[in-house]
């Protein structure tokens, strides 16, 4: 006796449907994990940017002749060419030695006080901050720097190397301002 108009799924059809659902669910889990990694990376970049902006804000209130800005010497092509770390040197294991750093007490040079984010807070989170200064005589060619070009670089560990955030700015020499 044959049943007329059978309805429903066979066992094989059910197994195939479950396999397709499993592949789709595995893909969704992978997307979720990628989203979590991207969110964590975005959080680290945001924190590094906040630390860099804090340092740039502090530098903007330092007096022109502050020892933490180095000596106002004539512009060196190498200084200007490497100011913003175009060669990604800060993503290597050791940062360039020509940069100023808060690791060696650079933020309190000459007994100055530091009012920004404390060193202990940045180190505890794995962030390192550096700043480069290049003095330039842009407008009048009188040999006295008109401004200092600044680069604040904050790096943090990411995988086997480092990632970095770079902020660029300018500090005008008040004696040369017109």
Range of the domain at 87: 11-172
The answer to the question of residue 6 being in a domain is no
Q: What is the pLDDT of residue 99?
A: 76
Cα–Cα distances in angstroms (integers) from residue 50 to residues 55, 57, 154, 158, 168, in the given order = 9, 10, 10, 18, 14
0.95 surpassed by pTM:
no
The answer to the question of residue 118 being in a domain is yes
d(CA 101, CA 98): 9
Whether residue 74 has pLDDT greater than 70: no
Whether residue 59 has pLDDT greater than 60: yes
Q: What is the pLDDT of residue 162?
A: 92
pLDDT top residue among 115 and 24 = 24
Question: Exposed, middle or buried by CB within 10 Å (0-12, 13-18, 19+), for 158?
Answer: middle
Q: What is the pLDDT of residue 36?
A: 93
pLDDT top residue among 35 and 145 = 35
Instruction: Please count the structural domains in the chain.
Output: 1
């Amino acid at each position: 006796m044959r049943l007329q108009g059978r309805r429903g799924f066979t066992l094989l059809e059910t197994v195939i449907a479950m396999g397709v659902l499993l592949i789709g669910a595995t893909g969704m889990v992978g997307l979720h994990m990628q989203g979590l990694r991207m969110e964590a990376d975005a959080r680290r970049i945001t924190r590094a940017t906040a630390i860099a902006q804090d340092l740039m804000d502090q530098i903007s209130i330092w007096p022109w002749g502050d020892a933490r800005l180095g000596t106002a010497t004539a512009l060196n092509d190498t200084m200007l060419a490497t100011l913003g770390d175009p060669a990604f040197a800060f993503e290597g294991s050791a940062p360039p030695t020509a940069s100023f750093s808060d690791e060696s007490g650079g933020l309190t040079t000459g007994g100055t006080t530091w009012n920004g984010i404390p060193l202990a807070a940045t180190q505890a989170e794995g962030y390192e901050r550096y700043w480069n200064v290049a003095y330039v005589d842009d407008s009048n060619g009188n040999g006295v720097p008109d401004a200092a070009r600044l680069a604040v670089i904050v790096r943090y560990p990411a995988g086997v190397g480092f990632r970095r955030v770079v902020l660029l700015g300018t500090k005008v020499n008040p004696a040369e301002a017109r």
